[in-house]
Structure 1
Amino acid sequence: MCTSITFQSENKLNFFARTMDFGFELNGMPIAIPRNYESTFHFEGTLKTTYAFVGTGQKMGEYMFADGVNEKGLSIAELYYLNEASYKSEPVDGKINLTQDEFLTWVLGHVASIDELKELSKNIELVGVKNDLVSAVTPLHFIVSDKTGRCVVVETNDATLTVKDNPVGVMTNSPNLEWHLTNLNNYLSIQPTNFASKELDGYTLKPFGQGSGTYGLPGGLTSPERFVRATYMKAYTEKGQTELEAVNSIYHILNTVTIPKGVNVKDDGHNDYTQYRAVFNLTDLTYYFNPYYTQEVYSVKLTEELCSKDDVTVFDVPHTFEINKLN
């Protein structure tokens, strides 16, 4: 479970954001990968990054990421795609063969824009390989945005990689993008203003109070419900005049799809909850990170110093809840 959105402020800064909802402790942390950093891919061998990037990752042999933004302003997040994802069983000669877990990291290190991604995807195959952390082949799809604000979703259909334009800039989990977009048509009545009073057989019907326009807005935690709710919140939440006002608005949107521990328990007893929320400014390359155990937001700017370092930079983030006392 995860939710991701794009967002644009009043002063035309473009953002990309996500919740990371999972039932297994991922222990993701802010990590910056410099240009020309060498890492080993399952089928492609040792490759050097063309572009530096920063995102939420973990070292599992090689550094693996769940989201990030690179120095060209391209951002990507992976989201669970249960019962829908399909991968090649073997690498294909003459193609770029990546495991499903490597794709995001490869994109951040080698792709500058959505246009380039669409072109390169014609030569990419995703090959299903078991992820040792979860002991399974992870079913994934991906949402991508770049500094222009455009958005696409990358999904597999019959083991073929497909890049789909995403007109609403929102993605959650299964089903596929087309299903979610069609489902939005069920919610034409949802609006930020109250419904007007109405006469019915001589009897006047009136709203009880504020919020009548949102009656019927889904409130559950399923993927379709979160997709509809995030789309509505994104469309009507104030955009903010500055970067920090926009980031504040985005976190308020993410609050509406954030999952506390204990309210969504898997069959194996593990909590599926929002382990962190990340926001990326695609215009000036700042990454905002908020882990579950604190309300503080931490930021990393992808500076030239980080981009040109000789090694990876891992940022420690406190996971303690603190109060700013006023007396």
Structure 2
Amino acid sequence: MCTSIAMQQGGGYFGRNLDLEYSFGEQVAVTPRRYPLRFHRQPAMERHLALIGMAHVTGGCPLYAEAMNEKGLYMAGLNFPGNAWYDPDPPADCDAVAPYELIPWVLGSCATLEQARARLARFRPLGVPFAPGLPLSPLHWHIADPTGALVLEATREGVFLYDDPAGVLTNNPPFPFHRANLCQYQGLSPRPAENRMAPGLSLPPFGQGMGAVGLPGDFSPASRYVKAAFLKLNSPDPGSEEERVVQFFHLLEGVAMVRGSVVTPEGREDITTYSCCISAGAGVYYYKTYGNSRITAVRLASDGLDGDTLTLYPLQNGPDIRFEN
């Protein structure tokens, strides 16, 4: 379960909630230009665009959950169980890429959303696990830059690349459902409620926010999609970098999972383990965790991007409470 948001204001802000009932060993990883990227069926990239994002690192390989490259192109993988399909032996004339390779394969070589669109034209998902004991995660992907957003889905019916004008992605069902489902909520508004049912009958609102009566509040993917779209599409531009980052995290908080609100079939508590906001203009990865609400920032520093050594930043997970006395 996850929610990803792409905002084009102010040079581009992208990020997501990672909703999971366990830690996957995540940490912020910076992959510089000369750190080799290896792929099962694609040529290695000895030199590429630098990346920053949240990853599990194993065998020296950063397995990114989401990342942005130095040009401001963002990509995130979100859970897509029951619909994602990977081919164990794609045709030779396709660009076969395993799901855990896809983010570095795209971000390492594409500077813009349109370049990513072209890069993915021959993409087919390769159903080869990274290693024994690391099964393939069923994913679909959110891709964005300051010009717009795309959704990539690979199912048994084929590989589909959708334009995403709302700039939001959650989980199941497939993306066309979410776009169509938004049509049911056209009457929602952040403004005071208007009496359209019986204009001749006095029905004064008894509180603020009644223009959005009917906005879903549960944690299902379909409801989170509608709520995230409503919050994002009605969000004003605060104007400064710091205010935009704070506003972005508030958008993510609107669809975050609180411990105890969602329990998996296995009896485990699903929570928003971390939230992140990546500023394309500033080249900064901001995040906070379930246990630490303070925003931590990691810069994609230009003076270190030409190296060949992976840089890792362990998460600040513990509470950080300031006392005034």
Q: 1:133 to 1:279 in 2, by over 3 A?
A: farther
Q: 1:91 to 1:47 in 2, by over 3 A?
A: farther
Displacement of 1:165: 0.8
Q: 1:134 to 1:162 in 2, by over 3 A?
A: farther
Paired position in structure 1 for 2:91 = 92
Could you list the per-position Cα deviations for residues 252-271 of structure 1 after superposition, in whole angstroms to 9, with x for gaps in the alignment? 11111111222211111222
- Inter-partner Cα distance in structure 2 for 1:120 and 1:219: 37
Displacement of 1:176: 1.7
Paired position in structure 2 for 1:165 = 163
- Inter-partner Cα distance in structure 2 for 1:58 and 1:198: 52
Q: 1:102 to 1:202 in 2, by over 3 A?
A: closer
Could you list the per-position Cα deviations for residues 98-123 of structure 1 after superposition, in whole angstroms to 9, with x for gaps in the alignment? 11121112222222111111111122
For structure 2, list consecutive stretches of 5 or more residues without a partner in the other structure: none
Aligned residues: 324
- Inter-partner Cα distance in structure 2 for 1:326 and 1:266: 39
Which of the residues 7, 15, 18 maps onto 2:16?
18
Could you list the per-position Cα deviations for residues 20-69 of structure 1 after superposition, in whole angstroms to 9, with x for gaps in the alignment? 11233213111100002113323336432411110001112221100011
**1:96-175 superposed matches below 5 A:** 96-130=95-129, 136-146=135-145, 148-158=146-156, 160-175=158-173
**1:129-278 superposed matches below 5 A:** 129-130=128-129, 136-146=135-145, 148-158=146-156, 160-196=158-194, 200=198, 203-278=201-276
Is contact 1:130-1:136 (8 Å) kept?
Answer: yes
Is contact 2:194-2:211 (8 Å) kept?
Answer: no
Paired position in structure 1 for 2:2 = 2
RMSD over aligned Cα, in angstroms? 2.1
Paired position in structure 2 for 1:36 = 34
The amino acid that maps onto 2:121 is K
Displacement of 1:238: 2.5
Paired position in structure 1 for 2:319 = 321
TM (norm. structure 1) is 0.92
Bigger drift between 220-229 and 292-301 goes to 292-301
Is contact 2:99-2:139 (8 Å) kept?
Answer: yes
Determine what percentage of the aligned residue pairs are the same residue: 28
The amino acid that maps onto 2:216 is P
Displacement of 1:167: 0.8
Could you list the per-position Cα deviations for residues 161-193 of structure 1 after superposition, in whole angstroms to 9, with x for gaps in the alignment? 322111110110111221101100101111011
Is contact 2:26-2:315 (8 Å) kept?
Answer: no
Could you list the per-position Cα deviations for residues 206-250 of structure 1 after superposition, in whole angstroms to 9, with x for gaps in the alignment? 222111101000000000000000000001123211111111111
- Inter-partner Cα distance in structure 2 for 1:118 and 1:315: 31
The amino acid that maps onto 1:219 is G
Could you list the per-position Cα deviations for residues 134-168 of structure 1 after superposition, in whole angstroms to 9, with x for gaps in the alignment? 7543211100111x331111111436332211111
Paired position in structure 2 for 1:68 = 67
Q: 1:111 to 1:133 in 2, by over 3 A?
A: farther
For structure 1, list consecutive stretches of 5 or more residues without a partner in the other structure: none
Is contact 1:199-1:205 (8 Å) kept?
Answer: no
Q: 1:134 to 1:4 in 2, by over 3 A?
A: farther
The amino acid that maps onto 1:120 is R
Q: 1:98 to 1:208 in 2, by over 3 A?
A: same
Is contact 1:198-1:205 (8 Å) kept?
Answer: no
- Inter-partner Cα distance in structure 1 for 2:268 and 2:133: 13
The amino acid that maps onto 2:63 is M
- Inter-partner Cα distance in structure 2 for 1:295 and 1:201: 45
The amino acid that maps onto 2:141 is F
- Inter-partner Cα distance in structure 2 for 1:130 and 1:119: 26
